[in-house]
Structure 1
Amino acid sequence: MSRQKMLARALIVFALLGACGTGARLAAAGEFVAEARTIAELKAVFGQVESRTVVPARARIGGTIREIGISEGREVKEGEVIARVVDDKLTFELNAADAKIAALQSQLDNARTEFDRAQQLLARGIASQSRLDQAKTQFDVIVSQVAAAQADKAVIEQRTREGAILAPATGRVLTVPVTLGSVVLAGEEIARIASGQYYLRLSLPERHATEIKEGGTVLIGQRGLSPVASGGSAAARQARIAKVYPEIADGRVIADVEVADIGDYFVNERTLVWIPVGERKVIAIPPAAVTTRHGVDYVRVATPDGPLDVAVVLGETFQDGGGPRLEILTGLRPGDRIVMPDVAP
């Protein structure tokens, strides 16, 4: 016999001895009976982070932006001054209002003097009652004119104060579409503020409309668009469907999902969401029962002739009351006794 044949035979003998030794250890460990169970059929879709309300901060007067005190991402409080618009014409209107009030005040002083003189002359019997009535009427007219001029000035001052743009609600600034020196009109949008609670909005195919219901449970992945980045459905957390909208648009059903600790910064961020769209029966075993050799997955099954390594095809990993379970697509049947590896040192 050649040297190469002897070496090959020796390697085969050592491999068989190693397999027998391993089988003895596995047989001594506990067993797990493979059973068929019903699990939810999950569909992975993208959920988009939305704010319950997004309110615009608008300019109340037209003019030029002279001050901007915010930027995208900053938190603001309701009533906080976030920008300022200045209309140079208001300064001239205010000066004109002051001049008009000053002129009317002079006329008022003169009318008061004439009214007092008419009263004195009437008391002495020199002037008539009609002259006194005329002086009083002139005095009352000018008093009203002064009050109207002061009201006009108050309107101008109020318009000047309205150049301060206030945050309409407490929240986070999403966009600031203007710059210093921009000319804006009254009612133009200066900033958009996300002021409501954040939630996930789902857009599902119409065929799943009957499977989703308000109050149903879905699984939310971690931040990231890929199953690897989000941790997959096994690492997902549960959330509740808060609302299902009755209108179907473009073959899509819209639903909102309430998620705890979703954050309050990014809006329109997308993340993976797994929703139940049906049920299916699977054979599932603990992940520890699977061993991998040369890229092939094996499960050791107890048979009347002794433990037998069976090649299997693995499916998804999910959680149940007994811990993580691994779906077996092919290779096992319900009732097979799985020999669990000995995890003792």
Structure 2
Amino acid sequence: MRKFILGTALAVLGAASMATAAEQPVERRVITEWKAVFGRIETRDLIDARTRIGGTLVSIEVTEGSDVTEGQVIAMVHDPKLALQLQAAQGNIDALQSQLDNARTELKRGESLQDRGVITNQQLDSLRTNVSVLENQIAAAVGDKRVIEEQSAEGAVLAPIAGKVLNVPVTRGTVLLPGETVASIGGGGFFLRLAVPERHAPFLHEGMSIRIGSHGDGRPGRLAKVYPEIDNGRVIADVEVEGLSSEFVNARVLVSLPVGEHEALLVPAASLITRMGLDFVPVARADGTVVHRTVVPGSQVEIDGTRMVEILSGLTDQDRVVTDHD
């Protein structure tokens, strides 16, 4: 009752004056409905840096938050058996080389004896075969040694991509098996991942513009990808944002999505008057007088650089609003 009396009194006072201010018709426009959701900052690629051999982790050069480049050595794994195998392979090569030197000496002597008719061609061929066999055995032993050397070199754990280290689950002295994770690295740029209720799925499409923050004053973004699978009643989508902070991965960011449209009555936000907890809009009558109508305002939007407010009740599209009032 008190609100009704106050509204009536203001209407009477407004009607007593003539409208000398600027007028503007109430606009009926189709405006976008926005849905506020939270997105998580994620990396485009998430790859584990893994060990290629088993052994003991003797050093690790990165921690969580470290920036790395592709191919950078971030840790070393040592297997003492490889050093022993390398020594054994070298010893085998040395033994075969000594046998080869002796076989070549025997072959040279046999060629000299064959010239004098002391040995037969069959015996000389046998000496040549022995030299060839030893040469091939040395080549095979050298190949085995290179395999061991390569295994030793694979003790260096390399960063698979350039990016930021997100997780290091091991410490120095850990015994690792081949293929175990030493560090998780995120790279390829940062983006927002959204989980939107499936009822809004028909309104989402790749390339649509969204707002990071509230829809009235947020930064622009672009919906880069909408995944076709619905997970637990949610549609997963990725958003590209220029200058997105990469300080904290999985940080939550408010995002406003356009999820529909509806017709609305709009008036300039500057014409809205709030007194005693009630909202009024000055409306010009046909006879030139001004009356203050009690209204229920809704959300605000910006149209052509002007801040407009939606009127849920209290006005029609036939009314004319006074935009310049005291």
TM range (shorter): 0.7 to 0.9
TM alignment of 1:1-345, pairs within 5 A: 27-221=19-213, 232-303=214-285, 304=287, 306-341=289-324
What is the distance in 1 between the residues matched to 2:197 and 2:135?
73
1:169-218 CA distance string (max 9 Å, x none): 12222212111111111111112222223222222222222222233232
1:303-342 CA distance string (max 9 Å, x none): 3473333333332122211422122223333233322346
Higher strand share: 2
Q: CA deviation at 1:64?
A: 1.0
What is the distance in 2 between the residues matched to 1:32 and 1:169?
60
1:299/1:188 CA distance change after superposition, 3 Å:
same
Q: CA deviation at 1:60?
A: 0.8
When structure 1 is superposed on structure 2, of 258-267 and 19-28 the one drifting more is 19-28
What is the distance in 1 between the residues matched to 2:83 and 2:269?
78
What is the distance in 1 between the residues matched to 2:246 and 2:281?
46
Unaligned runs of 5+ in 2: 1-10
Number of residue-to-residue matches in the alignment: 315
TM-score, normalization by structure 2? 0.87
Instruction: Tell me if structure 1 keeps the 8 A contact 2:36–2:255.
Output: yes
Q: CA deviation at 1:249?
A: 3.0
1:59/1:131 CA distance change after superposition, 3 Å:
same
TM-score, normalization by structure 1? 0.82
AA of the residue aligned to 1:206: E
Instruction: Tell me if structure 1 keeps the 8 A contact 2:18–2:288.
Output: no
What is the distance in 2 between the residues matched to 1:23 and 1:73?
67
1:24/1:70 CA distance change after superposition, 3 Å:
farther
Instruction: Tell me if structure 1 keeps the 8 A contact 2:230–2:236.
Output: yes
AA of the residue aligned to 1:32: Q
Instruction: Tell me if structure 1 keeps the 8 A contact 2:18–2:289.
Output: no
Instruction: Tell me if structure 2 keeps the 8 A contact 1:55–1:194.
Output: yes
What is the distance in 2 between the residues matched to 1:236 and 1:290?
24
What is the distance in 1 between the residues matched to 2:21 and 2:172?
75
1:60/1:26 CA distance change after superposition, 3 Å:
farther
What is the distance in 2 between the residues matched to 1:309 and 1:121?
130
1:38-97 CA distance string (max 9 Å, x none): 111222222222322222211111111111111222221111111111111111111111
What is the distance in 1 between the residues matched to 2:288 and 2:105?
129
Instruction: Tell me if structure 2 keeps the 8 A contact 1:34–1:337.
Output: yes
What is the distance in 2 between the residues matched to 1:319 and 1:237?
14
AA of the residue aligned to 1:217: S
Q: CA deviation at 1:27?
A: 4.9
1:24/1:207 CA distance change after superposition, 3 Å:
same
Instruction: Tell me if structure 1 keeps the 8 A contact 2:39–2:195.
Output: yes
What is the distance in 1 between the residues matched to 2:17 and 2:320?
16
What is the distance in 1 between the residues matched to 2:18 and 2:93?
103
Q: CA deviation at 1:112?
A: 1.5
Instruction: Tell me if structure 2 keeps the 8 A contact 1:218–1:275.
Output: yes
1:213/1:95 CA distance change after superposition, 3 Å:
same
1:178/1:332 CA distance change after superposition, 3 Å:
same
Percent identical residues: 48
Give SS of 1:209's match: helix
Unaligned runs of 5+ in 1: 1-18, 222-231
AA of the residue aligned to 1:333: T
What is the distance in 2 between the residues matched to 1:215 and 1:53?
21
The Cα RMSD (Å) is 2.7
When structure 1 is superposed on structure 2, of 81-90 and 302-311 the one drifting more is 302-311
AA of the residue aligned to 2:313: T
Instruction: Tell me if structure 2 keeps the 8 A contact 1:290–1:299.
Output: yes
Give SS of 2:229's match: coil
